[in-house]
Amino acid sequence: MSKREHLQSAFAALHPEHLDVQDESHMHSRGLETHYKAVIVSPQFEGLNAVKRHQKVYGALGDVMSQIHALALHTYTPQEWAAQGIAPESPTCRGGSKHDH
């Protein structure tokens, strides 16, 4: 099972109405399957601020998080997603890896 599939499986605990997990490792210099972006729409985020939502996601991930370098989280309630419908684009990598020198 790929790391992306592990992430998707872990996110299932949040009962997402929409889930999009993208491997963005190609935008970075740390190798394959290291950088991910997750868009998660779940009623479980109702009434929670961004920090509490991220804590809930990390709780669902458990040990899976230790297998990757970076995870960009975009968490929405169903109402927020209906109003917005799209997550922001990821920024271009600024480097920071020993491979960049």
The tens digit of pLDDT for each residue in 73-90 reads 999 999 999 998 888 787
Number of CB atoms found within 10 A of residue 34's CB: 17
In this structure, is residue 94 part of a structural domain?
no
Q: Find all residues with CB under 8 Å of 69, minimum gap 6, and list them.
A: 28, 30, 34, 35
Q: For 10-14, 50-54, 91-95, which range has the lowest pLDDT when averaged over its residues?
A: 91-95
In this structure, is residue 101 part of a structural domain?
no
State the total domains in the chain. 1
- Structural domain harbouring 8: 3-84
- Nearest residue to 3 via CA among 54, 61, 42, 59: 61
In this structure, is residue 58 part of a structural domain?
yes
In this structure, is residue 55 part of a structural domain?
yes
**Mean pLDDT calculated for residue range 52-57:** 97
The angle subtended at Cα 30 by Cα 87 and Cα 100, nearest 5°, is 110
Q: What is the CATH number of the domain that holds 64?
A: 3.30.300.90
In this structure, is residue 35 part of a structural domain?
yes
The tens digit of pLDDT for each residue in 29-48 reads 556 777 889 999 999 999 99
